[in-house]
Amino acid sequence: MAAVIPGDEVPNYEKYGPGIDSDRALVAGILQEQKNALLLNNNFKHYIPAKKDHVIGIVTQKGVDRLRVSLQNFTAPVYLDSLAFENATRRNRPNLQKGDVVYAQVISAERDTEAEIVCKDLQTGKSAGFGQLKEGNILNVSVGFARHLLFKGHPVLEELGAIYAYELAIGVNGRIWVKGSDIKATLLISQRILDENRIFRPSTYA
């Protein structure tokens, strides 16, 4: 399908993936159709936050009521309210520290303002898989490769699943968290994914 830049109109679909808000593209990329959804893929290294994106962040600063979180090196941090977790209250909230890793969803990404993320589903209040990611290994990959893994899958994931038992979280900001049954498995899985990232081209798997 067509290439788009921020502000371009996109076709009408039942569902839109990250990078598309209503009928317009928020970031540059190639439009791709999957069933009744319209996705926006690119192979950029730089990530620009967009509403609804699933991201992996690293806590860089802890405040009284909010945390500052890095979604990518050398880019502006986003903020995470300390109550933006399932069942969190002022007396009972996650005790996150600098360096901790979270899987979150972007809920606000306006121009010239700090983007905001949450670690729960806003409609249900449940974690829905979001929250702190403990142990494991963080991989830095291209934004396009991360988006492709999250929305369309990849043969390498099936290949690894047939050999190892592992947990995986994918952020469209170009970060992947992987945790195998032990350190050796985690490192082998990580290396296999990084190898695929190096040869990934969006057109190959469109």
Domain ranges (residues) in the chain: 3-41, 54-133, 137-205
Residue 119: in which H helix or E strand, if any?
Answer: strand 116-119
User: Which CATH code fits 137-205?
Assistant: 3.30.1370.10
Q: Which two tokens stand for residue 139?
A: 């991989």
* pLDDT of 1: 60
How far apart (Å, rounded) are the C-alpha atoms in residues 137 and 119?
19
How far apart (Å, rounded) are the C-alpha atoms in residues 9 and 4?
8
* pLDDT of 41: 65
Burial class (CB in 10 A: 0-12, 13-18, 19+), 114: middle
* pLDDT of 18: 66
Residue 38: in which H helix or E strand, if any?
Answer: strand 37-41
Of 25, 40, 112, give the one whose Cα is nearest residue 76: 112
* pLDDT of 181: 95
Burial class (CB in 10 A: 0-12, 13-18, 19+), 201: exposed
Give pTM, 2 decimals.
Answer: 0.78
* pLDDT of 11: 83
* pLDDT of 47: 83
Bridge partners of 139, per DSSP, are 176
Q: In 78-92, which positions are buried (b, 16+ CB within 10 angstroms) versus exposed (e)?
A: bbbbbbbbeebeeee
* pLDDT of 35: 66
The whole-angstrom distance between residue 194's C-alpha and the CA centroid of its chain comes to 16
User: Which CATH code fits 54-133?
Assistant: 2.40.50.140
Of 54, 4, 2, give the one whose Cα is nearest residue 24: 4
Q: Which two tokens stand for residue 160?
A: 């690894």
* pLDDT of 205: 45
Which residue type occupies 26? L
Which residue type occupies 126? K
54-62 and 66-70 beta bridge pairing: antiparallel
Q: Which two tokens stand for residue 132?
A: 């702190």
Q: pLDDT 10s per residue in the chain (206 long)?
A: 667 777 788 888 877 776 777 677 776 677 777 667 777 765 566 788 888 899 999 999 998 889 999 998 878 899 999 999 999 888 888 889 999 999 999 999 887 788 999 999 988 989 999 999 999 999 999 888 898 888 778 899 999 999 999 999 999 999 999 999 999 999 999 999 999 999 887 655 44
